[in-house]
Amino acid sequence: MESLHLAYALVGTLAVVLALASRKMRDLPVSEPLLALVLGAVLGPVALGLISVPDDVRDLALLEGSRLVVALSVMAAALRFPASRLGSVARAVAVLLLVVMPVSAALSGAAALLLGFPLALAALVGACLAPTDPVLAGSIVSGEPAERTLPGRLRHMLSAESGLNDGLALPLVALAIAVVVPGGTLGEHVGRVAYEVLVAVVIGGVLGALGGWATRFATRHRDLEPAPDLVLTMLLAVAALGVARTAHTDGILAVFIAGTVYNLLVTGDEREPQEDTDEAVNRYLSLPVFFLLGLVLPWEDWGRLGPAAVLFVVAVLVVRRLPAVVALARPLGLDLRQAAFLGWFGPMGASSIFYVAHSIDKGVTDPRFFAAATLMIVASVVVFGVTSSPGRKLYGRSAAPEPARASG
């Protein structure tokens, strides 16, 4: 219990310090999740040894903690831009979801073969690493520096993609789990995945519509006070997640659909105070999950992966996303500079942590899986945390961007 209280104290203090320096953090070559990850690693068993987490606690805490964080983050992604503008990026986002994400899963899985993994386990690693993380992506496309430097359409594409693919990655992960963990026929697994996706869309749509109409009614009749208004979309995210999970469906997808439908129904003036709260949650509520990941890093299992681990990390960083996005620049409606930026900044983070923990919860027990996936997630948090601010500045200097269409 003392370890838990120490964890509260330290990660809470870190969050307060980072919040007080929030404006400066936008320009530094580090990210909040990276600092939380480093703090956890320093305090964990391999370094100072102040906090240790048993494996059973680790798995449950990572699963439920990342589930909640990703749900709140995809809600923030759904609200970051007016939903009326979604049509302008719908085709591009469809290409990113239907082409780039499966290609990313396949190429990341192929890279895992360098570690000597069997094909099924490598495919599962690739599927878990496929989705773009809304927490880390949000830090790239939100805030005044991003609004000043990056085109609105580019920011909108990355936000919408990171919100949707966290839920739509479930079919890839579920089918890979079905191969790794025996039980049931392929038809049964496909049917189950279809049920989870379709019912999640219905649940999200219904709850988003009810939330939007209720907000408009309460605002019109002055029943909604300012303080509850600030956290209303957070409460909607938790409600959608809970209803979807009770129905055994894809909770993350349900939250994003709920947020998008809510966004369609609620005006910008009504939504503006909620956007700031959602962005704050996206930046700081994720810190405990990355801190926990730092505490439980499997250093010994990483060592057992051997020198091929370096090749695996480099291969995933280089080929997972960038070549496909650059090759599809024309269908995406991007010039080469924009495609290179979008291709590079598709980080792996809390969403991949969630799918790794979900896979373990479904019966994947091979320690090599947790080792390889967490190694890649850590590499992503480090690399994208270090390159996000310089990359954004480099993009701004390379040519005068189009006027940014801000989130209002």
Task: Tell me whether residue 162 is in a domain.
Answer: yes
Instruction: Write down the pTM of the prediction.
Output: 0.89
pLDDT of the residue at 20: 83
* Per-residue pLDDT reduced to its tens digit, 11-35: 888 888 888 887 777 777 788 889 9
Q: How many CA atoms within 13 Å lie on the side-chain side of 269?
A: 3
Task: Tell me whether residue 175 is in a domain.
Answer: yes
287 sits in which H/E element: helix 287-295
Does the pLDDT value for residue 401 go beyond 50?
no
**Other CB atoms within 10 Å distance of the CB of residue 201:** 18
Q: And the tokens for 183?
A: 């039980």
370 Cβ contact list (under 8 Å, min separation 6): 298, 301, 356, 360
Query: How far is residue 90's CA from residue 103's CA, in Å, rounded to a whole number?
Result: 19
Task: Tell me whether residue 270 is in a domain.
Answer: yes
Task: Tell me whether residue 169 is in a domain.
Answer: yes
pLDDT band at 124 (very low <50, low <70, confident <90, very high): very high
Domain residue limits at 116: 54-398
The CATH number given to whatever domain includes residue 257 is: 1.20.1530.20
* Per-residue pLDDT reduced to its tens digit, 134-154: 888 877 877 777 778 888 888
Task: Tell me whether residue 32 is in a domain.
Answer: no
Task: Tell me whether residue 348 is in a domain.
Answer: yes
Cα 408–chain centre separation: 23
Average pLDDT taken over every residue of the chain: 85
What is the residue-wise DSSP string for 130-176? Answer: -SPPHHHHHHHH-SHHHHHHS-HHHHHHHHHHHHHHHHHTHHHHHHH
**CB 157 within 8 Å of CB 100:** no
Does the pLDDT value for residue 269 go beyond 80?
no
Query: How far is residue 29's CA from residue 384's CA, in Å, rounded to a whole number?
Result: 9
**CB 121 within 8 Å of CB 321:** no
**CB 286 within 8 Å of CB 137:** no
pLDDT of the residue at 315: 96
Task: Tell me whether residue 312 is in a domain.
Answer: yes
Does the pLDDT value for residue 405 go beyond 50?
no
pLDDT of the residue at 271: 56
* Per-residue pLDDT reduced to its tens digit, 339-354: 999 999 889 999 999 9
**CB 326 within 8 Å of CB 343:** yes
Domain count, the chain: 1
pLDDT of the residue at 370: 95
Task: Tell me whether residue 237 is in a domain.
Answer: yes
**Other CB atoms within 10 Å distance of the CB of residue 27:** 12
86-113 mean pLDDT: 92
* Per-residue pLDDT reduced to its tens digit, 271-316: 555 556 656 776 788 899 999 999 999 999 999 999 999 999 999 9
The total number of residues shown for the chain amounts to 408
Q: How many CA atoms within 13 Å lie on the side-chain side of 68?
A: 16
Terminal CA-to-CA distance of the chain, rounded, Å? 45
